[in-house]
Each structure stands twice: as C-alpha cells, then as structure tokens.
Amino acid sequence: MKTIHIDALGKPCPLPVIETKKAIQKLPAEGGDIIVLVDNEVAIKNITKMANGNGYTVDSKTEGDGFAVTVTVTPQATAEKPKTGAVICFSRNVMGEGDDTLGKNLMKTYIYSLTEITTPPEQLFFYNGGAFLTNKDSDVLEDLKTLEAKGTQISTCGACLDFYEIKDQLAIGDITNMFTITEVMNQAEKTIIL
C-alpha cells in the first residue's frame, strides 16, 4: 500500500482537510495511508470527521510538537456517497432584512417550526452572525436541542467562532470548517440558506 505524508503544521482549517482529500485522490485503486502532521485538535477532529464520513479509518497520536493523523483508505471505502437530506444554513442570527427585533422573533419562530415538522432537516450549519445562535445565551437553544435529539446534526463554523471570540460559549453541536460546509451542501438533496 502507498503512503503519502502531508506537513500541515501551522496551516489553518480547512487546509489540512483539503490537503488530505487531495492526497486521497492520488492513492492507487488498492488504497493506502495518508499521514498528516497537524498542530491543533480542531484539525484532528475535522480530518477524522471527513474520514469517518467517507468510510476511512483514522488513528492519531502525538508526534513532536504536534500530532500525526493517519487516514487509511481501502477500496471498499471509495464508493461515492449518496445524497443527504435537507441542509439549512444560518448566516445571520436574524431572519430577513429590516427590523432586527422582528428578525430575531422570526428566526426563533422558524427554528421552533423546524421542531414541529414531520421530517426534520438532516444538517444545520451556522456561520458568520449565525454562530451566535448556537451559543449558551441563545434564545433558540432549547429548540436546537430538540432538533438534535431528533437526529439533526448541528455544526458551527470554527473560523466564525474565533472571529467573534465566542468559541468558549458554544453550547450545542460541533465545530466545523468551510470545506465541510461546502461539501455537505454539494451532496444535499436540498439546501436552504437564511
């Protein structure tokens, strides 16, 4: 089996994930290993999530000042993934243009309404101002917890949490990156952007 090494030390997300995906495409049909050096746990989580989502196995260990993440690709894991269900992207913490008080009420009602529909969305992404909807002070947190309990995956952009300095206030779901958001949107049967 072929082994490809990637030095992603010091590279911000989503670059380690993108470089890993590119390396996977260079593997021969029989598969192989991609060993990625990273220096933060967010990169480990993002590479692991991408790999697990594609049926690859992942192992990580401390190496020097960083971590070595090994992604093992087998021929059985290279089949194309089926389309996912509905994906909703929240780019703001208000809904629509105009008065922000009305916009907050509309957003709260919209997210509550998602808890009442028969088939909840498969994935919710929160980025830019939408990142405030997943923090501990959010007035939609209980409805998001209801959706998560029904199987909806909730993810917030890590770069956005860092930009607004609210990463320590994240109260639900996981941290993701723009590459993953783009990939899931591309595979979705339906994408709604608010």
Q: Rounded to an integer, what distance in angstroms lies between the CA atom of residue 158 and that of residue 161?
A: 5
pLDDT, tens digit, 9 for 90 and up, residues 147-166: 999 999 999 999 999 999 99
Q: Answer whether residue 83 shows pLDDT above 70.
A: no
CATH of the domain at 102: 3.40.1260.10
Examine the domain organization and report whether 140 and 61 are in the same domain: no
Between 42 and 121, residue with greater pLDDT: 121
In degrees and rounded to multiples of 5, residue 174 shows phi and psi of -120, 175
Quote the number of domains for the chain. 2
Q: Does the global pTM surpass 0.75?
A: no
Q: Rounded to an integer, what distance in angstroms lies between the CA atom of residue 71 and that of residue 86?
A: 28
Percent of the chain exceeding pLDDT 90 equals 52
Between 102 and 48, residue with greater pLDDT: 102
CATH of the domain at 43: 3.30.110.40
Structure tokens at 132: 């405030």
